[in-house]
A = this chain, B = another copy of it.
Amino acid sequence: MQKISLSTRQREVLVDITSSVQEALRQTGISSGICVLYCPHTTAAITINEGADPSVAHDMVMGLRRLIPGNWDFTHMEGNSDAHIKASLIGPSVTVIIDVGRPVVGTWQMIFFCEFDGPRKREFFVRVQPGEKTG
């Protein structure tokens, strides 16, 4: 398992982690299998979405804020229940298929660390599971 650190610079922001994941995969030397990405934080998450146009990430952050505003009648005293809900809606883990030594993502897909209660120092975990030998 590999741990990758990052720093987020706003309260809510999507950070492109695609190249970190590719590098972690490369270090394992595994060319076929699956790759589990895991977020150990309760106000952050991991997703995959369009990375070509940065306005998509912007609209996701804005849309999620509009969906779950911070001013609902929450009881958690830290005042970040909106971030906890967003974290579970997006989800703590994503699994990507590995083939020919690369994550098999779509043309427009990038992997994003979703910060919902930053800025903070964060980390995520990468675990590559080798698949059946086919050679």
Quick check: B87 and A88 within 8 Å, CB to CB? no
Contact A76:B59 (CB < 8 A) given known A64-B85, A95-B95, A109-B42: yes
Chain B residue nearest to A131 (CB atoms) is B129
A4 to chain B, nearest CB (A): 13
The count of identical subunits is 3
A41 to chain B, nearest CB (A): 6
A34 to B37, CA, bound (A): 11
A50 to B105, CA, bound (A): 28
A62 to chain B, nearest CB (A): 7
Which residues of B have CB within 8 Å of A60?
81, 84-85, 88
A residues sitting closer than 8 Å to B (CB atoms) are 1, 30, 33-34, 36, 38-42, 47-50, 53, 55-56, 58-60, 62-64, 66-68, 72-78, 81-82, 84-85, 87-97, 99, 104-109, 125, 127, 129-132
